């Protein structure tokens, strides 16, 4: 009996039958296109809400929080859906919701319409990202899963970096119509790429209904600790640099992103070859030192080095902890586990914003960074227990 070459199952992936050079770039391109569309809305929506719709700053914050909360809640369900129904339907549904969400920015529905659009975008991003993650795990050869997960993450991350820049440029050139047209068109481009992906066989055979599998709790807590540092940079990096008297506060997140992207590219094979405890320990220390430098830097160059170092430290958290989760979770729980794991990243970022806000109010924005460094170091303790459970 000849196997169907158009689909790839778990066993095929384990044998390494599909070269990453043919398949992995497709997923990265699809995620980059869609997440660039998500990023386009970042600089445009606040202008729409406060200008044309005469809304408040609170309503601006609500629109962005609603998107994040929706994604956080939907991700475990998205993992179940991808594993039960299929990765391609999950990703296509995510693309469709992302494209359709822009319609609500155009219709004369006011701020309630904007909120509906943000809910749709949050659900779409969750379905697309988690569906793609389940596809990656199914496709990747066992000895390259860490590399595939790491490189896959470059798609959404790069899109979220490029999106706001593209959105600001589009708005300056063609105002709202051009920005919304491109934001709707990019997910449709992603649809074409998703249809080109190899189908993964074997979904739906036996899928657990658990939304928070036990296997994801400890890796998730470690990821939340690492993401706490990232959330501190995004929330308070600009303010901390300004409080130090540095004129280029907006460079904080940019430098963090440079460290993240370059390190991810240079170390893509490392998660498959080095023990996870060592990697998380080294990553936590690097991120914590970088955060401390950002908080205490007497000169701009030290703060800049700290931002790059913090990004470099954080970059390996997701692929390493995804590997621990994959190896610990029963196959029937993998989809929900991967979805829940990514939700812990949002939890860490949210906690950083709330906790950092309290610290910054009581002291200064720069004081949030040493506190974040302590939280990040806690990931070492958590991942030791996670690794012990995996080997038990």
Cα dihedral across residues 326, 221, 163, 158: positive or negative: negative
**Residue from 336, 332, 276, 318 nearest 78 by CA:** 336
Backbone angle region of 184, left / alpha / beta, with phi > 0 → left and psi within -120 to 50 → alpha: alpha
Residue 117 to residue 104: CA distance in whole angstroms: 5
pLDDT at 174: 87
- The mean pLDDT values, 10 residues at a time, for the chain of 392 residues are 42 46 88 95 88 84 83 90 91 96 92 94 95 90 89 91 90 92 96 90 59 85 94 84 75 88 93 93 97 91 94 95 88 83 88 86 88 96 80 55
Residue count (the chain):
392
Q: Where are the beta strands (DSSP E) in the chain?
A: 7-8, 199-200
Residue 240 to residue 250: CA distance in whole angstroms: 10
pLDDT at 392: 54
Domains, the chain, in order of start with CATH, read 8-200 (1.20.1250.20), 214-391 (1.20.1250.20)
Residue 342 to residue 338: CA distance in whole angstroms: 6
pLDDT at 4: 38
Residue 363 to residue 267: CA distance in whole angstroms: 37
Rg, Å, the chain Cα set: 20
pLDDT at 387: 74
The two three-digit tokens of residue 225, written as one number: 């600790």
The two three-digit tokens of residue 295, written as one number: 């908080």
pLDDT at 64: 81
DSSP codes joined into one string, 217-254: HHHHHHHHHHHHHHHHHHHHHHHHHHHTT-S-TTHHHH
């Amino acid at each position: 009996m000849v196997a169907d070459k158009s689909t790839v199952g778990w066993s095929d992936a384990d044998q390494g039958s599909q070269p990453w050079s043919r398949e992995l770039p497709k997923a990265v391109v699809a995620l980059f296109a869609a997440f660039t569309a998500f990023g386009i809305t970042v600089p445009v929506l606040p202008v729409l809400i406060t200008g044309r719709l005469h809304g408040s700053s609170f309503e601006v914050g609500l629109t962005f929080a609603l998107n994040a909360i929706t994604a956080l809640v939907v991700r475990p369900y998205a993992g179940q859906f991808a594993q039960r129904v299929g990765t391609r339907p999950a990703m296509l549904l995510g693309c469709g919701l992302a494209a359709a969400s822009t319609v609500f920015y155009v219709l004369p529905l006011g701020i309630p319409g904007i909120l509906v659009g943000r809910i749709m975008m949050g659900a779409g991003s969750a379905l697309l990202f988690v569906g793609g993650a389940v596809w990656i795990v199914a496709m990747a050869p066992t000895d390259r899963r860490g590399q595939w997960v790491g490189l896959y993450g470059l798609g959404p991350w790069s899109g979220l970096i490029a999106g706001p820049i593209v959105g600001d440029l589009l708005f300056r050139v063609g105002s709202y119509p051009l920005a919304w047209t491109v934001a709707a068109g990019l997910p449709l481009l992603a649809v074409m790429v998703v249809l080109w992906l190899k189908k993964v066989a074997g979904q739906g055979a036996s899928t657990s209904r658990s939304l928070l599998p036990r296997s994801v709790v400890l890796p998730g807590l470690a990821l939340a600790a690492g993401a706490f540092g990232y959330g501190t940079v995004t929330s308070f990096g600009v303010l901390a640099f300004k409080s130090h008297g540095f004129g280029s506060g907006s460079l904080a997140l940019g430098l963090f992103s440079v460290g993240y992207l370059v390190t991810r590219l240079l170390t893509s094979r490392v998660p498959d070859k080095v023990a996870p405890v060592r990697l998380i320990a080294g990553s936590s220390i690097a991120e914590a030192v970088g955060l401390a430098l950002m908080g205490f830097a007497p000169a701009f160059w030290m703060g800049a080095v700290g931002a790059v170092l913090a990004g470099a430290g954080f970059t390996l958290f997701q692929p390493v902890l995804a590997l621990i989760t994959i190896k610990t979770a029963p196959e029937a729980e993998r989809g929900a586990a991967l979805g829940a794991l990514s939700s812990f990243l949002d939890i860490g970022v949210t906690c950083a914003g709330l906790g950092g806000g309290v610290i910054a109010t009581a002291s200064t924005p720069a004081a949030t960074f040493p506190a974040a460094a302590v939280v990040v170091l806690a990931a070492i303790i958590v991942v030791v227990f996670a690794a012990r459970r995996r080997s038990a």
